Amino acid sequence: MKHLPWRDFFALILSIGVVGLGLGATIPLTALTLDQRGAGAHVIGLVTAASALGILGSAPFVTGWVARFGPRGTMIGAVWVAALSTVLMQIMDNLWLWGALRFVFGATMGVLFTVGEAWVNRLAPDNSRGRVVAIYTTSFTLFQLAGPALVAALNGKVAWSFAACGGLFLLALPGLGLISAARAAGSDEPHPPWQSVLPRMPMIVMGAAFFALFDTLILSFLPVYAIRQGIMTELALLSATVVLVGDTALQFAMGWLADRYGRRRVHIACGVAVCLLLPLLPFAAGTPWLWWTLLVALGAAAGAIYMLSLVACGEKFSGPSLTTASAVVNASWGVASAGGPLVTGVLMQSAGIQALPAVLFAGCALFLASAWWERRA
């Protein structure tokens, strides 16, 4: 990691971390506010899904914006729009407008994720790419985890809560300003269309889609699943947090393993681990130590699948192609996070609570199938 441009790297980490803090705060704040206003769960779900659709909607345009404004200019513009769309939620009550604002907010998140992930891959040396990307994803997740705690601390104490959250995003601007001008400039090379890069990245796309599915379903349904399995409500509500802790705490170790033993080998091993751990969920619920251990391991393995998909992007693509590939990754995230909860909710209602691990198992199996297909191709 000695060849890593540390100043630019830490500036990017700080900027994307602040974005994660704002994102982690706005999601529960939106749901809490809607619930306090008497909106039903279906309304909360639709407004939440609008953000995922926004991520998907921005994907085709990111490469063009980066070509025109450069990576830093594009991220700065996205930060301002994210802040403005959040502040406007403070002064508007119409649910349709809230849905539109969350769509715009999701679009800005898609832009920031795409450019940030491509940028960190450009900064990372080849021999330490796994560890560098792991630090990036860990930092984002840590800041995102702090978001709900911030909302809980400020709930009822700050009258203009959405305005305050909007202001959080603007704290990312100084970090973006610290990145050297040479690295902040855009490339004059043409950006290839997504159709030219997609056939080269089936394993990457499926890895990102699986983790989007995993992340969304764990946050949405794992507490309900735990309660149905007989776990006390207070402990059940902690289950999703424990999964995120496993994801956060062990990412650097997974990145080190990938640098040491090979990205593809560790990537596939994580998929196999998830498929072995998921069927144990119904049996672990009655044994507390096994339940918590299983959740930590699941979070670590599933999070590594996404992190190593980003690493694979940096290995396979460079220049403008890397930005296009990162946009494809975030489009797959948008599709999985928007459609996954809808399908899983219906299955859990009709087929029973065990549909949750079954859907996650199927998603991970598809990831492993894409790895097999890519190897044969």
| Mean pLDDT for the stretch of residues 328-355 | 83
Range(s) of the domain holding residue 118 = 1-188
Are residues 132 and 221 both part of a single domain?
no
Are residues 161 and 249 both part of a single domain?
no
Are residues 206 and 348 both part of a single domain?
yes
Q: Give the count of domains, the chain.
A: 2
Q: What is the pLDDT of residues 175-223, one digit of tens each?
A: 888 876 545 555 556 667 767 787 788 899 999 999 988 988 887 778 8
Are residues 173 and 216 both part of a single domain?
no
**pLDDT at 85 (0 to 100):** 94
**pLDDT at 104 (0 to 100):** 94
Under 8 Å between Cβ of 141 and 19 = no
147 vs 18, more confident: 18
Are residues 151 and 231 both part of a single domain?
no
d(CA 97, CA 43): 13
Are residues 338 and 264 both part of a single domain?
yes
- Asked if residue 149 has pLDDT above 60, the reply is yes
| Mean pLDDT for the stretch of residues 293-307 | 94
Under 8 Å between Cβ of 183 and 70 = no
d(CA 207, CA 205): 5
Are residues 172 and 290 both part of a single domain?
no
d(CA 134, CA 28): 26
**Residue 6: CATH number of its domain:** 1.20.1250.20
Are residues 72 and 158 both part of a single domain?
yes
Are residues 252 and 329 both part of a single domain?
yes
Are residues 159 and 268 both part of a single domain?
no
337 vs 153, more confident: 337
* Greatest pairwise CA separation for the chain in angstroms: 59
Q: What is the pLDDT of residues 239-294, one digit of tens each?
A: 888 888 888 888 899 999 988 888 899 999 999 999 999 999 989 888 888 999 99
- Asked if residue 345 has pLDDT above 90, the reply is no
Q: Which residues of 48-61 are buried (b: 16+ CB within 10 A; e: fewer)?
A: bbbbbbbbbbbbee
**pLDDT at 182 (0 to 100):** 47
Place 41 in a pLDDT band, splitting at 50, 70 and 90. Answer: low
Mean pLDDT of the chain: 84
**pLDDT at 295 (0 to 100):** 94
**pLDDT at 359 (0 to 100):** 92
| Mean pLDDT for the stretch of residues 313-323 | 84
Are residues 289 and 154 both part of a single domain?
no
